[in-house]
Each structure stands twice: as C-alpha cells, then as structure tokens.
Structure 1
Amino acid sequence: MSFLDSSKMWIDTIWSILTAEPLLTIFLVVFFGGSVLLALIVNMIKQYRLKKSGILEVDKMTGKNFEEYLQVLFKSRGYHVKLTPTTGDYGADLILTSKGEKIVVQAKRYKNNVGIKAVQEVVSARSHFSADKCWVITNSYFTNPAKELAGSNSVELINRDQLLSWMLKMNKQ
C-alpha cells in the first residue's frame, strides 16, 4: 500500500467517524478551534504589550524579547520580518525585506556601549544572507572603534536616540 493510499484510508476513516458522530465533531471543532483562537488572542496581547513598551521596558528586556520587540517595531514600519534561530543565526537576529530590499539586523540590548564584535557579526551575515544592507540596533550607544569599523563596511548603526525616535512614531500609530 502506497503512502497516498494509506493517507486516503485514514482520511476516509476519520471522515466516516466525524459524520457518524456529530457530537464528537462539534466537540473537536470547539476544542481545537478554541485552542487556535486562544493562541491567537495570547499572541495579539503579547504583540500589543510589546508595541506599547517604552525605552525603560526595553532596557529590562532579555535579548530575545528585544528581538521580538524589534519584530513588532519593523512590522509597524511596513517591513516583512523574519526572526532567525537563537543559535546558528550567522550574525543576524532579524531579516527585513521591503520593496525587494533585504536588510540583516544584529540586535544588541546592552547596558554598556556596543563594540566591534556586533559590527563584525552583521557584516558576515550580510554576505551569508546575500543582503543589500546591514544594521546594528541597540538600546545603548556604540564605541568609537565600532563606529569606525561600521563606516568602513557600510554598516548602519542605530543607537538609543534613533531607536527611541522610531518607538515614539510607532506608539503614535
């Protein structure tokens, strides 16, 4: 028996049970539909809370939460946003696309100034992901060596002041 025949057999069996037992069908629709609806509501609440976060909340976020915050921020700015895996991200935390342009982003939620390592990581990510641009975004500021390396590698640095400006625009929407 082929995979397709086996799949069809399972589908036919499930269909016959569901059509013969309308209460079971109603229960399954309510249970699974409710679960999906609940997951959507929880996600919407999380997105809303992230969107309403201020800079002081950002300063307290984990690195992963900061990446999720930036995802919400960039979606509000019209980008399609993909978060990369936590490990093995090749130096990019987010991949933004808009109007045929691809931008890799290294996100640094730091208490101190961001150094050259973040710039090095995002430069390698630009090559790996064949991106048009690369950015490093922080809730802090950048060291002078990071600024110098970014300048010689066409890396855009977005510091606390620029981030705050974007946040204020998002919260006005």
Structure 2
Amino acid sequence: MARRKSKSKQEEELFQGLAGMVMLGGIAGTYSLTKSWGASMVVGVLGVVGVVLLMISIQRKRTERLKRSGITQIDKMDGVQFEHYLGHLFRFQGYKAEVTQATGDFGADLILSKEGKRIVVQAKRYSKNVGLKAVQEVQSARAHYRANSAWVVTNSNFTQQAYELAKSNGVRLINRDELIEMLLQMKGKLSASKKANDNVKTSA
C-alpha cells in the first residue's frame, strides 16, 4: 500500500541527494581546474562532510522542536487520553469541543462547534499510518451528526489511499507535522500569556 512520506523523511532524502551532488560536483569541478584526482577527492569529501554537519544541526533543532511541542507525551497516551487532549487543544483554538462516548460514537470521537458550524473529528493515536477506514468512518459520522466538515487527526501519518479518499470526499487530514505545529502554537501563546501575567504581578 502506497504511503505519503513525512516531511522529515522528505528532508532526509533531499539531503542525501544533495550530499551526492556536492561530492560529484566538487570532484568534477576540482578535477577540471587542477587535473588532480587527489585534490578532487579531498574537495568531494569535504563537501560531503559539510552537508552531514548541516544535517546533524537540523536534526538537533528538529529534536528540540519535538520536545517543546510535547508530541512525545502524546505518543505515550492511550486513545481516550488523546481524544481528551485534542478537546483541550481545540478549545484553546476557540472551538466548543465535546468528546463523544467511547462506544457507539458513530465514527466521531469529538464534535467541534464554532461560528454556527459543526465539525466531526476522529482521533487516531497510532504508531503506524492511518488508512482508509478512518476516512470512511468520519465521512459517515459527518452525515450522522449533520456536520459541515469532517477531520481525522493523528500523531502519525496517513496512507496515500487515505489522502486520495479524503481529497475526493472533502475530509481534512491532520497528520503528525500539522499536529506538532498546532501544539507549538498553543504552547507559544500559553507561554506568552504566562509572561504577561507575571509582568503584571511584578509591576503591581
């Protein structure tokens, strides 16, 4: 089953390709100028080392970003905890969020309301990619709850078939990368609000 690559995987493959291009380009360019294979190999190796160091730096920044987001804590949650955490996250975004009962939810784990519109959400706390079934279930839930929109949110990613079905049915898929962005935005605003309150208390 085809799967859409995550952003981090795409970046990793990009840098691998870049390392190869830098090495070959450095060797060819140096040889054309010096006619020395020894100097060409040195330049090629130095180029690869530079790309590897850049990859390490980016990986460190990505790791720090993941720690700030709290996604690793979400990875340890069970399904019900994930649903309630998403309820908190969406309430922070201004939605009225209701977590449905664990059984007999008709395909919706949360029901969001905002500005007169209703959104059904299926939450998937997975260690693997989410497939077609989640999209089919949330689409049915949209009809059952007479909702305007249907979303599937996961801490993982989706299969390519899930993306294709979601696109044709107007279902929004929120994968790990987008969830991390939402978490960072929430934590950033909470941190800014805390600092503002601390400043008010200090000046009072």
TM exceeding 0.5: yes
Match of 1:31 in 2: none
Q: Distance in 2 between matches of 1:74 and 1:148?
A: 25
The residue type equivalent to 2:108 in the other structure is A
Structure with greater helix percent = 2
Q: Deviations over 1:47-98 (max 9, x none)?
A: xxxxx97000000100000001001000100000001000000000000000
> What RMSD, in angstroms, separates the aligned Cα atoms of the two structures?
1.1
In structure 1, the partner of 2:155 is 139
In the aligned structure 1, how far is the partner of 2:137 from the partner of 2:92? 26
Percent identical pairs in the alignment equals: 57
Select the residue among 100, 110, 115 that pairs with 1:84: 100
Residue 172 (structure 1) shift: 1.2
User: Corresponding residue for 1:29?
Assistant: none
Distance in 1 between the 2:178 and 2:145 partners? Answer: 25
1:46 is aligned to none
Q: Count residues with an aligned counterpart.
A: 122
Map 1:51-66 to 2 at 5 A.
54-66=70-82
Unaligned runs of 5+ in 1: 1-51
Q: Shift of residue 118 of structure 1?
A: 0.3
Is the contact made by 2:69 and 2:180 (CA closer than 8 Å) also made in structure 1?
Answer: no
Q: Which runs of 4+ in 1 moved over 3 A?
A: none
Q: Which runs of 5+ in 2 are unaligned?
A: 1-67, 190-204
CA contact (8 A) 2:121 2:151 kept: yes
Counterpart of 1:109? 125
Corresponding residue of 1:169: 185
TM-score by length of 1: 0.69
Paired AA for residue 164 in structure 1? I
- Higher relative contact order, chain-length normalized (CA < 8 Å, sep 6+): 2
- TM-superposition CA deviations, 1:87-115 (whole Å, max 9, x none): 00000000000000100000000000000
CA distance in 1, matches of 2:158, 2:69: 23
Encode CA deviations 1:22-42: one digit per residue, 9 max, x unaligned: xxxxxxxxxxxxxxxxxxxxx
Out of 69, 72, 81, the position equivalent to 2:85 is: 69
Secondary structure in 1 matching 2:102: coil
> Is 2:108–2:120's contact at 8 Å kept on the other side of the alignment?
yes
Any idea what SS the aligned residue of 1:107 has? Answer: strand
- Counterparts of 1:83 and 1:58, CA distance in 2: 17
